[in-house]
Structure 1
Amino acid sequence: MLSLRQLEVFLAVIETGSTTRAAEAVALSQSAASNALTELESRLGERLFDRVGKRLVLNASGRALQPRALLLLTQARDAETLFRHGGGQLKVGASTTIGNYLLPRLLGAADGVLPCERIDIANTDEIAERMLRFELDLGLVEGRTLHPDLLMEPWRQDEMVIVAAPQYEGAVLAALPWIMREAGSGTRRVVEQDVLSDLPVIRPVLELGSSEAIHNAVRAGLGVSCLSRHVVEQSLQSGELVVLAPERSIRRQLYLLRHRQRPDTAAVARFLALCAPEN
């Protein structure tokens, strides 16, 4: 029978390229790590790595095993924490607007016991990739992802508005200098598809990796952008920014991501009780 230790060594070799460094990563001797890998290959009847000089390079058989090994180790770790802290502590990935603005407000109602131990903020594509590697338990994202192993459910909605410093008020949108999120951002996809699709091609003068950075650039008068109202509400109230073309404002869907092969735990239920989807 395969052991979790064998799978742990297998994954560590993928990361490090050798049994020597893998042994250090999993706190084994080099001989024990080498034996674990040899036993795993013997049990499966397949070589999992090609030996290229002193380096072990994952082959087709190893690539087929990798996602299953990740899943088995993840499920084992889930079992270890199942009865701790009311069902374990979650690692949650959140798109920037959700992680910086919406989620902190929702978690403020946690009554001192947060239902997650870490919130990683990244764009939609990065969160999806990390969930596929079982590095995150849940994702809250602003864009769509269509990987068959991920379940995407409507979570909440957010209003997107075109904003600029007051000197741009009344200008033609297509002629303005635009500041955009980076490729792969859910916000950028929504803006291009749902807000600006009928305009001539917009050529951004600047691309930035977070909504907060764009907010600051727009306040400085560098250009215009389309941002969540959560991000710009205070600047609109103070008069630092104005809404352009309010008829182009949209309500976008925010999504909850789950992995199909990970059943919900008590920790997930606790999280969703505080951050429940809108009806």
Structure 2
Amino acid sequence: MLSLRQLEVFLAVIETGSTTRAAEAVALSQSAASNALSELESRLGEKLFDRVGKRLVLNASGRALQPRARTLLVQARDAEALFRGGGGQLKVGASTTIGNYLLPRLLGAAGADLPCERVEIANTDDIAERMLRFELDLGLIEGRALHPDLVMTPWRQDEMVIVAVPGFAGQPLETLPWIMREPGSGTRSVVEQELFGKLERGRPALEGVQPVLELGSSEAIHNALRAGLGVSCLSRHVVQQSLQSGELQVLAPERSIRRQLYLLRHRQRPDTAVVARFLACCPPEA
């Protein structure tokens, strides 16, 4: 019968490329790690790696086993967490707007009722990749993650508004210098679909817009807007204080966007106790 230790060594060899470094990663001797890998290959009747010099390179058989090995190890760890006090710690991945603005308020309101070991803030594509590798318990994303192993559930809604310093008011939006998020960002995807598509809610789309600047976070764009460098479409969560102070102004309020925020789960990973606690504290909006 396959053992969890064998699968753990197998995955560690994939990450490190050798049994020596894999042994260090899983706190085994080099001989014990080599034996575990040999026993796994013997049990399966297949070589899982090609030996290229001193390096082990994953082959087709190894690639077929890899996602199943990850799933089994994660499920074993989840089972252990059920019997620890409170069900363990939560590892959440959040898109930048959610992670920087919405999630801190939710965690603060939950307090000690929602232990959170780590929050990874990245764009939607990166969160999806980490969910696929079972590195996160739950994702909170602004865009779409279209992978058969990932399940998106509507969670909350957000309003996105076109904003700039008041000096840009009254000018055609197509002529203004646009500042955008990087490709792969949920914010970028929504703006491209809703404002720059062929038809934007029955109105002519904004055509011919080319960003003059791409920045890797909404906060960076916010600061660029305050400096008068251009116009952008951002979550109201990001710019609320600047709107209240008058430093920024909403342009074309009729073009504001209501976008869906999503919970992201792995199809092969049932909710753990701590995920259930998160959903109880931060439920989807009706």
Q: Provide the TM-score with structure 1 as the length reference.
A: 0.98
C-alpha distance in structure 1 between counterparts of 2:119 and 2:149, whole Å = 22
**1:143 and 1:185 in contact (8 A); partners too:** yes
Which residue of structure 2 lines up, in the alignment, with residue 162 of structure 1?
A: 162
Consecutive unaligned residues of structure 1, counting only runs of 5 or more, are: none
Which residue of structure 2 lines up, in the alignment, with residue 47 of structure 1?
A: 47
Which residue of structure 1 lines up, in the alignment, with residue 200 of structure 2?
A: none
Cα deviation 1:159-215 (Å, max 9, x = unaligned): 000000111111111111111000000100000101232122321111111111100
1:272 maps onto 2:279 in alignment:
yes
Which residue of structure 2 lines up, in the alignment, with residue 150 of structure 1?
A: 150
Which residue of structure 2 lines up, in the alignment, with residue 99 of structure 1?
A: 99
Cα deviation 1:236-278 (Å, max 9, x = unaligned): 0100000111111011000001111111122111101111100
Cα deviation 1:136-172 (Å, max 9, x = unaligned): 0100000011101111010000000000011111111
Which residue of structure 1 lines up, in the alignment, with residue 213 of structure 2?
A: 206
My pick for the range that moved more, 85-94 or 58-67, is 85-94
C-alpha distance in structure 2 between counterparts of 1:266 and 1:21, whole Å = 34
Which residue of structure 1 lines up, in the alignment, with residue 65 of structure 2?
A: 65
C-alpha distance in structure 1 between counterparts of 2:208 and 2:43, whole Å = 57
Which residue of structure 1 lines up, in the alignment, with residue 18 of structure 2?
A: 18
Cα deviation 1:42-70 (Å, max 9, x = unaligned): 00000000011111100000000000111
C-alpha distance in structure 2 between counterparts of 1:180 and 1:155, whole Å = 25
C-alpha distance in structure 2 between counterparts of 1:75 and 1:55, whole Å = 29
* Partner amino acid, structure 2, of 1:180: M
Equivalent position SS for 1:270: helix
Deviation at 1:26, TM superposition (A): 1.0
**1:116 and 1:271 in contact (8 A); partners too:** no
**1:9 and 1:23 in contact (8 A); partners too:** yes
**2:176 and 2:230 in contact (8 A); partners too:** yes
Equivalent position SS for 1:199: coil
CA RMSD, aligned part only? 1.0
**1:195 and 1:249 in contact (8 A); partners too:** no
Which residue of structure 1 lines up, in the alignment, with residue 175 of structure 2?
A: 175
Deviation at 1:28, TM superposition (A): 1.1
Equivalent position SS for 2:51: strand
1:242 maps onto 2:229 in alignment:
no
C-alpha distance in structure 2 between counterparts of 1:13 and 1:104, whole Å = 37
Which residue of structure 1 lines up, in the alignment, with residue 139 of structure 2?
A: 139
Deviation at 1:34, TM superposition (A): 0.7
C-alpha distance in structure 1 between counterparts of 2:113 and 2:85, whole Å = 9
C-alpha distance in structure 2 between counterparts of 1:115 and 1:157, whole Å = 24
Alignment of 1:209-220 (within 5 A): 209-220=216-227
Consecutive unaligned residues of structure 2, counting only runs of 5 or more, are: 198-204
Deviation at 1:104, TM superposition (A): 1.2
C-alpha distance in structure 1 between counterparts of 2:277 and 2:157, whole Å = 21
Q: Provide the TM-score with structure 2 as the length reference.
A: 0.95
Which residue of structure 2 lines up, in the alignment, with residue 88 of structure 1?
A: 88
**Which of residues 252, 257, 261 is equivalent to 1:254?**
261
- Residue identity (%): 85
**2:130 and 2:136 in contact (8 A); partners too:** yes
Deviation at 1:113, TM superposition (A): 3.2
* Partner amino acid, structure 2, of 1:176: L
